[in-house]
């Protein structure tokens, strides 16, 4: 259940990143196709903040005049940079659409911003969708294992045990079977015990695999199940 909510949380973060950065990238991409520097433009409340040494986010209020008409707009952007100190920026507007303007650093770092955005979006959405699919698969496997059927017990290597309020989350790895080297996680309740022992410097255990699914668990078989030796 925790992985399910984590997957939704990551997907929501990915959607939020898209909502936050995509309009600005599209806006500045349009300007970059025909940029015009407004040398007498005014950059107000300009501020760039560096986080974790390389993540820079900048914001400012821009005002400028084109053909006697005054324009004002707010802009914000994020990119990756190893720069230290202040940034010098100019106002850059679109030659085709004078109402569109940004900071010159937004144009200079456009590909940097695009790659950073795609990385963050791909990572959060990709991981979220992966965890969501795994959660659905685990839920389906639990439903299949609730019915009577043949069970097979195989030795596995226990790689970690994480204690929680509701029980222990045990990560184990196949040594053979349908999916050798695959890793799985079983949550063992407070009143449940997984069979584990030490052998050759490793912690071993038994996984129980139901005939209806390849997803194994570390727990006692369901009533009515039959073990295959």
Instruction: For residues 81 and 56, give the distance between their C-alpha atoms in angstroms, rounded to a whole number.
Output: 7
**221: DSSP letter:** P
Give residue 214's pLDDT.
66
Burial of 207 (0-12, 13-18, 19+ CB in 10 A): buried
Percent of the chain exceeding pLDDT 70 equals: 83
Task: Tell me the per-residue pLDDT of 139-190, one tens digit each, with 9 for 90 and over.
Answer: 776 666 666 667 777 788 888 888 777 777 788 887 765 566 677 777 777 7
Boundaries of every domain in the chain: 2-123, 149-228
Instruction: For residues 157 and 183, give the distance between their C-alpha atoms in angstroms, rounded to a whole number.
Output: 9
Question: For the chain, how big is the Rg over CA atoms in Å?
Answer: 28
The model scores a pTM over 0.85: no
Instruction: For residues 9 and 12, give the distance between their C-alpha atoms in angstroms, rounded to a whole number.
Output: 5
- Where do the DSSP E strands lie in the chain? 35-38, 42-51, 55-66, 69-80, 91-94, 101-103, 150-163, 167-174, 183-189, 196-199, 202-210, 226-228
Give residue 174's pLDDT.
76
Task: Tell me the per-residue pLDDT of 82-133, one tens digit each, with 9 for 90 and over.
Answer: 877 788 899 999 999 999 999 999 999 999 999 989 998 889 988 888 888 8
pLDDT at 75 over 80: yes
**54: DSSP letter:** T
């Amino acid at each position: 259940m925790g992985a399910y909510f984590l997957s939704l949380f990551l997907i929501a973060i990915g959607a939020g990143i898209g909502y936050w950065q995509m309009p600005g990238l599209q806006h500045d991409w349009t300007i970059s196709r025909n940029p015009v520097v407004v040398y007498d433009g005014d950059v107000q409340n300009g501020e760039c903040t560096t986080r974790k040494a390389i993540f820079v986010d900048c914001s400012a209020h821009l005002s400028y005049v084109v053909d006697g008409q005054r324009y004002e707009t707010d802009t914000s952007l994020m990119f990756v940079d190893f720069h230290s100190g202040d940034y010098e920026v100019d106002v850059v507007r679109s030659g085709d659409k004078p109402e569109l303007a940004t900071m010159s650093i937004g144009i200079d770092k456009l590909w940097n911003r695009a790659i950073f955005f795609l990385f963050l979006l791909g990572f959060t959405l990709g991981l979220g969708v992966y965890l969501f699919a795994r959660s659905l698969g685990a839920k389906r496997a639990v439903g299949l294992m609730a019915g009577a059927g043949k069970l097979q017990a195989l030795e596995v290597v226990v790689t970690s045990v994480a204690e929680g309020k509701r029980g222990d989350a045990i990560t184990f790895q196949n040594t053979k079977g349908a999916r050798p080297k695959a890793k799985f996680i079983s949550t063992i309740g407070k009143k449940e015990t997984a069979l584990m022992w030490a052998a050759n410097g490793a912690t071993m255990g038994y996984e129980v695999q139901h005939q209806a699914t390849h997803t194994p668990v570390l727990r006692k078989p369901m009533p009515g199940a039959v073990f295959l030796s």
